Amino acid sequence: MSEQQITVRRLQDRQGANGATAVAHPNIALIKYWGKRDERLFLPWTSSLSMTLDIFPTTTRVHLDAEASDDEVTFNGVPAAGEERRRIAGFLDLVRRRAGLTHRAVVDTRNTVPTGAGLASSASGFAALAVAAAAAYGLDLDGTGLSRLARRGSGSASRSIFGGFAVWNAGNPTAPPAEADLSSYAEPVRTGDLDPALVIAVVNAGPKEVSSRAAMRRTVETSPLFEPWAASSRDDLTEMRAALLRGDLDAVGEIAERNSLGMHATMLGARPAVRYLAPASLTVLDSVLGLRRDGIPAYATMDAGPNVKVLCRRTDADRVAEAVRDAAAGGTVHIAGPGQGARLVDAGGR
């Protein structure tokens, strides 16, 4: 028996089977991640901060197959192909290298969020995959280690390892790659008394025309507005942390809204421009202004898609959802609260 077979046999003895299942939730950034300083290691230019949601979970099962010659990946029962499959297989290669194993895996992912619509399906997807794959291949990682691993699949996934509010540290920008890699991970953020909700208006659930990965690269390379936004985003993060600690939802919302609009401005400045805002997005943004005029604290944030997420108090969420639903004619509206971090639900994988 080869050394590897012995290792896998040991894993099987320990876990009952060479597989594991994990669940993770998407997160919505209130201070955005937009732009990598190292594309291979997924090191961002700026730190970001998000709230993990309690809706749209992704459940991923990873099972090692000693006989297989290639990884087998399915999304909601449909075999993955092209770029999607390549990303998962590349991620598994990283896990295999760290585990010192070469066994291929069967990966079965169930997503409940519309994929590729700027609703952070890659965040929940790679957070669940990191937790399940680490367990299946026998890597013993704590939250920091899992966050660093998830980051290598998709930057925003580093934050979904944790529940509630999490900050993803950009890490040391002047350090050599190996050291910078160690210093860039997410961790929970301390907050005061907040009872937040995010009302999510899905104005278009179709896949986006430009992936966030390609769009952020183009923004960093060509937008003259990128550097000023990155500098102001660092200040926004400092203010955001203080506002969260005070439990000051209005300040949290104001900072989140300006940070997101600033990110979209940097994209509009790219050459050629990247524009995710659709007419329906603007109508929803107007309804958020209308809510504020009526004395309801509500603040908008948008990601790499036309959908709008509105931060408000839990007690105002139904009223906000109603206003947003009217504005997003034909779209769907969901109410989310703070959710749990990624976790193993079955270390046996069956």
The residues binding ligand DP6 (CB under 6 A) are 29, 32-34, 42, 48, 120, 122, 154-156, 212-213, 303-304
Which one, of 57, 43, 39, 34, lies nearest residue 302 by Cα?
A: 34
What stretches of 19-76 adopt beta strand conformation (E)? 19-24, 27-31, 36-38, 43-44, 48-52, 58-65, 72-75
Smallest separation (angstroms) from ligand DP6 to the CB of 233: 10
Query: Distance between CA 1 and CA 312 in Å, rounded?
Result: 59
Give start and end residues of each alpha helix (H) in 76-189. 82-99, 121-136, 143-151, 157-160, 177-183
Smallest separation (angstroms) from ligand DP6 to the CB of 130: 13
Closer residue to ligand DP6 (CB): 11 or 120: 120
Residue 107 bridge partners (DSSP): 62, 73
Backbone angles phi, psi at 75, to 5 degrees: -115, 120
Closer residue to ligand DP6 (CB): 310 or 323: 310
Smallest separation (angstroms) from ligand DP6 to the CB of 136: 22
Query: Distance between CA 22 and CA 12 in Å, rounded?
Result: 17
Closer residue to ligand DP6 (CB): 155 or 331: 155
**Burial class of residue 182 (count of CB atoms within 10 Å of its CB; 0-12, 13-18, 19+):** middle
Closer residue to ligand DP6 (CB): 89 or 347: 89
Smallest separation (angstroms) from ligand DP6 to the CB of 214: 9
Closer residue to ligand DP6 (CB): 266 or 283: 266
Closer residue to ligand DP6 (CB): 42 or 45: 42
Smallest separation (angstroms) from ligand DP6 to the CB of 117: 11
Verify cis geometry, omega within 30 degrees of 0, for the bond prior to 26: no
If phi over 0 gives left and psi between -120 and 50 gives alpha, with beta otherwise, what is residue 71?
Answer: beta
Smallest separation (angstroms) from ligand DP6 to the CB of 11: 29
Closer residue to ligand DP6 (CB): 106 or 282: 282
Smallest separation (angstroms) from ligand DP6 to the CB of 156: 3
